[in-house]
Structure 1
Amino acid sequence: MRTPSGPATLTTAERAIDARFRAILARLPRRGPAGWLTEFAVFGLKQAWACVFGGAMLAVIFAARLWYPEDAPIARNDFLTLAAVVIQIAMVAGRLETLRELRVVVLFHLVGTAMELFKTHIGSWSYAPDGVLRLGAVPLFSGFMYAAVGSYMVRVNRLFDLRFVRYPRRWVTAVVAAAIYANFFTNHYVQDVRWLLIAVVALVFGRCAMQFRIFRLRWRMPLLLAFFLVAVFIWLAENIATWSHAWLYPSQVGGWHPVSATKLASWFLLMIISVVLVTWISPPQPPDDRSPDAAVGTDVAELAPVSPTTGGSQNPATGLGGHGQHER
């Protein structure tokens, strides 16, 4: 059975937005500099839409750092927790996130909170001790920051109609992800093997390429490069969060400074855990061989356009959209 296509796979709110933008985008030039700028603009809009949960969380954290009153009746950490709950409810009630996607977001929340409890106990980082909405030393809003990563992953999967060439067997990726997660705990007691795990990730995912649709073109890039780019984005967001004193690393307690670039390795490995959790509700899809988009050379490793959209899983005039079986 052919998977649903185009706007039919979007949430209710996204279908309404898509209908407004579709006619405008369809009238824009297809070729030349203007055509490339159109692709770039749509890419930015889709990324912003995929980041709406994390962006809202980061904005609240940033604003609380600048303007939250010290004598407020609610502790800042509790305010951040309540704000995160409101954002999550708004995401679902506003049809920005499907109930199916909410399952993996909640799983991110639980996995992240478990790690937070351990890492704060061991002293890897710390939170301000104020507030009552917390588990031990961990304010409850911290789990929502992991949930924001989960929200981005599931949303970008359908907004960009992600397809994968030579994706490894899912049980292999699950074993690698479990080893990565375990190392985040065991590296405090035995040898830290993160660099070995990165080598294993390169071996497992090295041949995999990701295809993604922006607007009229389907593009391809190595999956490892996609992991790294998302890791850089999270690292930048982490710098904003630590500057806002959402949490601090031990070296930042005496005075803030940028988070070490070595943390990119941790965020890169987190991408593997994230991808495995997302595949729980959205198994990796191969290129659609019934569409002209699939007629690409699978040996192309660099970022490159594949072909104009003339068929397949998305209306060529659609600004959002993608494959998948998400439903409310």
Structure 2
Amino acid sequence: MRSLKQLFRFGWEQALSCVFPVVIFASLALTNVIPMPFLPRYDWLLIICLLMQWVMVRSGLETKDELKVITMFHIIGLALELFKVHMGSWAYPEEGYSKVFGVPLYSGFMYASVASYLCQAWRRLKVDLINWPPFLTVVPLAAAIYLNFFTHHYWIDIRWWLSGLVIIMFWKSWVRYEVGGKAYRMPISLSFVLIGFFIWVAENIATFFGAWEYPNQAEAWSLVHLGKVSSWLLLVIVSFLIVATLKQVKGKNSAEQAIGLKLQ
């Protein structure tokens, strides 16, 4: 019975952490079914995302520090979108006033929603990292993974080498979290895989509702290739590494300030 209660609590905390992604998916579904007046669909999606972001900060569901992280992810994601659309990896076929070089500005919020989930889950589940690798190894790895999304179009794709480095670097690393006051933990590599897989599932839902379109979906919708899980896995790793690094830096600064106040 206690196990079921804990599972329910965990599911509830996860659901609260997914508020922003859920709103995005609901908006994609509704605007796909219901004709939107006055503005193209992509522009309405941008307005909804901006409004939701404002509501989350005003209501306290999201902190101002988390908003800064999410904004950074929006910029990182938008840069990747501009490049990938230019290279023909996928497309946004509908019209929109808020499109820049073929990319609607709302698309950056889909990356920001991943960061929103990580930040929310981190706070709600009181996440802590065990045997986290040094800062000087984590940052170059995150940068290399992100850059490979660009460079593999011109050079060899080294994603599997990078995946191997991730396994080696985080072999002894664990993520600790709390549910109902009880602590649990799992290997960080497993958490990467689980989040990456569920994002792939979400990607299938998003493309079904016309969020974007892969070349093989131009004529009719089809399941996103399972190989995309590796891409999302690496993107999740980049997201996790950035959020974890920022959390650790903030935690260190807070600890130093606390020590400074005690010494005064």
TM-score (norm 2): 0.92
8 Å CA contact retained: 1:84, 1:144: yes
Give the aligned length.
Answer: 251
- Considering Cα pairs closer than 8 Å and 6+ residues apart, tell me whether 1 or 2 has the greater RCO: 1
Distance in 2, Cα, partners of 1:264 & 1:127: 21
The aligned counterpart of 2:208 is 243
Find out whether 1:282 has 2:239 as its counterpart: no
Question: Deviation per CA, 1:146-170, whole angstroms, max 9, x where unpaired?
Answer: 1101101111111111112211112
- From 44, 49, 52, the counterpart of 2:16: 49
Matches of 1:282 and 1:243, distance apart in 2: 35
Q: For each residue in 1:120-139, what CA deviation from the matched residue of structure 2 results, as whole angstroms up to 9, or x when unmatched?
A: 00000000240111211000
How far the C-alpha of 1:284 sits from its partner, in A, is 8.2
Runs of 4+, deviation exceeding 4 Å: none
Trace 1:230-309 onto structure 2 (pairs within 5 A).
230-283=195-248
Q: 1:58·1:241 contact (CA, 8 Å) conserved in 2?
A: yes
1:210/1:222 contact within 8 Å kept: yes
**AA in 2 matched with 1:206:** W
- Counterpart code for 1:73: F
Q: Which residue of 2 aligns with 1:84?
A: 49
Q: CA deviation at 1:81?
A: 0.7
Deviation, 1:195, is 0.7
Query: Kindly tell me: are residues 141 and 232 of structure 1, through their superposed partners in 2, closer, same or farther at Cα, counting changes over 3 Å?
Result: same
The residue type paired with residue 177 of structure 1 is A
Q: Distance in 1 between matches of 2:182 and 2:80?
A: 40
Residues 140 and 285 of structure 1: CA distance in aligned 2, closer, same or farther (over 3 Å) = closer
Distance in 2 of aligned mates of 1:257 and 1:194: 25
**Residue 192 (structure 1) aligned with residue 157 (structure 2):** yes
Do residues 144 (structure 1) and 97 (structure 2) align?
Answer: no
Distance in 1 between residues matched to 2:94 and 2:5, nearest whole Å? 48
The one-letter amino acid of 2:199's match is I
Tell me which of 146, 162, 166 is aligned to 1:181.
146
Selected match of 2:172 from 207, 210, 219: 207
Q: Compute the displacement of 1:46 (Å).
A: 0.2
1:155 aligned to 112, 120, 125, which one?
120
Q: Write the distance in 1 (CA, Å) between the matches of 2:45 and 2:218.
A: 20
Give the corresponding residue for 1:36. 3
Q: How far apart, CA to CA, are the structure 1 residues paired with 2:230 and 2:76?
A: 19
1:92 is aligned with what amino acid?
V
Q: Residues 129 and 137 of structure 1 are in contact (CA less than 8 Å); yes or no, is this contact kept in structure 2? A: no
Shift of the 224–191 alpha-carbon distance from structure 1 to 2, 3 Å rule, reads same
Q: Which amino acid aligns with 1:45?
A: W
Corresponding residue of 1:127: 92
| Amino-acid identity (%) | 38
Name the CA shift for 1:285/1:220 in 2 (closer, same or farther; >3 Å). farther
Q: Which 5+ residue runs of structure 2 have no aligned equivalent?
A: 252-264
Q: TM-score, normalising length from structure 1?
A: 0.74
Equivalent position SS for 1:189: coil
Listed as ranges, the gaps of 5+ residues in structure 1 are 1-33, 287-328
For 1:22, the equivalent position in structure 2 comes to none
Aligned partners of 1:202 and 1:141: how far apart in 2?
33
**Does structure 1 residue 217 correspond to structure 2 residue 182?**
yes
Q: Alpha-carbon deviation of 1:206? A: 1.5
**Structure 1 residues 285 and 213 mapped into 2: Cα distance closer, same or farther (>3 Å)?**
farther
CA distance in 1, matches of 2:55, 2:181: 31
| Superposition CA RMSD, Å | 1.5
SS in 1 for 2:183: strand
> How much does 1:285 deviate?
10
Preserved CA contact (<8 Å) 2:128 2:175 = yes
The answer to whether the 8 A contact 1:77-1:131 is kept is: yes
TM superposition shift of 1:171: 2.1
Answer with 1 or 2: which has the greater Rg.
Answer: 1
C-alpha distance in 1, partners of 2:196/2:188?
12
